[in-house]
Amino acid sequence: MDTAKIEAVLAQFGRPRRVNRPHRHFDGDFVDAPTGKVAYTTEGFGPTVLLVHGWDGSARDMSDIALALDRAGARIVTMDLPAHGFSEGETLSAEDAAAAILAVEAKEGPFAAVMAHSFGCPAMTLALEGGLKTDAVVFFAPPLRQIDQFRRHAGRYGLSPVEIEEMIARLRAAGSAMDQMDLAAKGAQRHEPLLIVHSTDDEMTPVEGSRELAEAWPGAKLLETEGLGHNLAMRDPAMVGAAVRFALG
């Protein structure tokens, strides 16, 4: 077992790769959260919809959805998660992201609908548990269980299976809530209308997780597509159109 390698990976754990917006000047607003200032933008008029990107993502990931919502007569709030874009912070957990979402809601809510991608989905679920109110939820490619997601992708750090389990043990000893992040268990306690959009060829977050989540979350609808991988459903006109119709009722 390479202890030095495990420690090096631990030092990077929870540190997303910051992807800035495509311009240097930020024209939006900020709200205070436990991780520092959280950047967000608003546009349009009408019922307000919050858009939340995924890990290593940016507001650009949601740009096609924002355009469709604007054309449908909505007001759109698009935030940079902590440690992403123009928001402050260097590290991020789902709990931190949920706190940032609630801070944006306190300033710009209430939200008629919320939409999230990938890591943004468990963060949004925690925000719902924390009191966020909305009439509709849309998840794109949600990861079902954080610990499974970690095991699935830890190999990219060059860790062996034994080293992966050692790292998980160290994270648990340090107080990680990884084991508690189970969307199926949490979804069973929810009541908000939920639409899940997931491509069957998604290698980052397998569609089987969304099938389980749809079974667990009362009344949830699952829209499966194919050939769009982990990100392209948010740019596909048919998938975006379905999401917008669901969000705005």
Residue 54 lies in a domain: yes
Domain residue limits at 115: 29-150+181-248
Q: Express each pLDDT in 182-214 by its tens digit.
A: 999 999 999 999 999 999 999 999 999 999 999
CATH code at 76? 3.40.50.1820
Strands (E), the chain: 29-33, 36-44, 48-52, 75-79, 113-117, 137-140, 194-199, 221-225
Count of structural domains, the chain:
1
Give the pLDDT band of residue 179 (cuts 50, 70, 90): confident
Residue 175 lies in a domain: no
If we measure between CA atoms, which residue out of 77, 62, 70, 74 comes closest to residue 29?
77
Residue 81 lies in a domain: yes
Residue 217 lies in a domain: yes
Judge residue 57's burial from the number of C-beta atoms within 10 Å of its C-beta, 0-12 exposed, 13-18 middle, 19 or more buried: buried
Residue 107 lies in a domain: yes
Dist CA 59 CA 78 (whole Å)? 6
More confident of the two residues 169 and 176: 169
